[in-house]
A and B are shown apart, each in its own frame.
Chain A
Amino acid sequence: MREWIEKQRYIIDFTLSSLLRRKVKNLGLWVLYMLVVFLLASVMFYTHAIKKEAVDVLRHSPEIIVQRIIAGRHDLFPVRYLDILKRIRGVEAVGTRLWGYYYDRSSGANYTLLVPPEQEVVKEDAGRESRTVTVEQDPKALHEEHRPLFATDGATVEPGSVIIGNGIARVRQAGPGEFMIFRAHDGKVMSLKIAGLLSSSSELVSSDLMLITEDDFRKVFGIPDDLVTDAVVSVTNPEEVTTVSMKISKQLPDSRPIVRDEIRRTYDSIFNWRGGMMIVILSSAVFAFVIFAWDKASGLSAGEKREIGILKAIGWETSDIILMKFWEGAVISLTAFFAGVILAYIHVFFTSAMLFEPALKGWSTLFPAFKPVPFISAEQLIVLFFLTVVPYTMATVVPSWRAATIDPDTAMRQTGE
């Protein structure tokens, strides 16, 4: 065994010396190889982390959301439809949601204005009414430790005030106590006070959110009292969600129920390899590998052939030469693979994938500041390993096997040197 190890070490010593003789070419190859692995691993880590987080967090979304569709477009939902929904067997509770988009010209950003659901009206000592958002407990979130939703404790959404997400605060450089100006649907100017900020750690879901009272929301958008954005339905038996959703479609033919599982599947297929940008990244990486493999498999250079000829002439076996070439492939691909994976991890989880940010941000002004949770599966790394290291090593060994089986004299003469 000791002898075998020593033999391998001598071959590795020789291989490294041989690689270092063509330093620039091999270093260039190594850097390129490492960059391909880095790019693929970064995409893999980032997309997996976002998908996992989305699917985990959105498990608490409403079971069924019912939208109204008119002429193929999402329309406002009449409150009178709620009675029809309530009468459907299997429906446990029905609620409404009021939300919409507001384009802020001064910052060029789109905000999502949302009326916090199930607000409890609190009569204060001074006779003033206020609504707090933290009152209504979601029964499905009960198992989780209770924490205030807002950075400022006790922040409440009162008429004339809003609670904003951290992305908005960053873009507007505004904080609690300051005022935000809105241009309502009728051209009137509304000034709303920032009562608090949504916690910065929840930016991935709340960066562009703005919590507002129902009255103010209706004033901004001019939505009448008998209309809401959509309805929310919870089902008695979770197994019956699909059945209830089908019943809703039957009872309200102009509606579109969206079940929670669809939301999950939407985010499960986000960054799918068939998506535009992903296929560009993946195909460029694949082409880079094809060039590597082609370069290797199309044959050895004259110098390499001569080297093999000399080695055979001085007594090296064919198996030794193949072993040398195997180590050559393994040294380059293994070290490049590890370096690429390490750099990809640092890029995604330490710098929040800063190289991808311009592409992900697109034309939007608001982008959530968040660090992806490092969900790494061994399966991903194994797939990446077999897609990169194994083909490259094989592509190095095969042509050298062809060269090593010919006569040393011919190998040296064929070089023409």
Chain B
Amino acid sequence: MRKSTQLFLIVAAQLVIAALLWVHGSLSAADSERRLAEERELVGRLMLTDLALFTEARYTRHLSQADLHTPFQDFPMALEHFPSGSFVQPAPGHFQRVP
């Protein structure tokens, strides 16, 4: 088999896998709708405000509820000693100066 044919077969196989993953994405997005609906319902009923993604510090557990001086104590972009603090930053506008 010519080398160019082999290359086309490899690229075609990659494209087919990518297409299958695209289909998987669309199907699971539809499937996940049930999970999302459940989460929305829980957020609505229990009046939740944040994701339980980072539970190590109170200001990373409730990012939107943290008071302005608790996280990022030194300055808004200071590196955190909690690892998750390096993935998040204060909400936009929190450190804007009011003239």
> Which residue numbers of A lie inside 8 Å of B, CB to CB?
9-10, 12-13, 16-17, 50, 53-54, 56-62, 65, 67, 69, 72-74, 95, 97, 101, 109-110, 112, 114, 116-117, 133-134, 136-138, 140-141, 144-145, 147, 149, 165, 167, 198-199, 201-209, 211, 230, 232, 256, 258, 262-263, 265-267, 269-272, 274-278, 331, 334-335, 338-339, 341-342, 345-346, 349, 359-368, 371, 373-376
23 CB contacts below 8 A, A to B, read A58-B49, A61-B49, A62-B47, A72-B67, A73-B69, A74-B70, A97-B47, A133-B45, A140-B44, A165-B52, A167-B52, A167-B55, A201-B39, A205-B48, A209-B52, A256-B67, A265-B93, A274-B77, A276-B80, A359-B83, A359-B87, A363-B82, A363-B83
Instruction: Say whether A199 contacts B64, CB under 8 Å.
Output: no
Of A201, A256, A363, the residue contacting B38 (CB under 8 A) is: A201
Which label, helix, strand, loop or mixed, suits the secondary structure of the A interface?
Answer: mixed
Instruction: Say whether A342 contacts B3, CB under 8 Å.
Output: no
Instruction: Say whether A202 contacts B55, CB under 8 Å.
Output: no
Can you add 11 more A-B contacts, CB < 8 Å, to A74-B67, A334-B11? A16-B4, A117-B46, A165-B52, A205-B48, A205-B52, A263-B50, A269-B92, A270-B63, A277-B86, A364-B54, A376-B22
Instruction: Say whether A360 contacts B84, CB under 8 Å.
Output: yes
- Chain B's closest residue to A95 (CB) is B47
Most buried by A among B28, B47, B66: B47
List B contacts of A202 (CB < 8 A).
35, 38-39, 42
Give A141 to B68 CA distance when docked, in angstroms.
31
Q: B28 → chain A, closest Cβ, in Å?
A: 6
Instruction: Say whether A364 contacts B87, CB under 8 Å.
Output: no
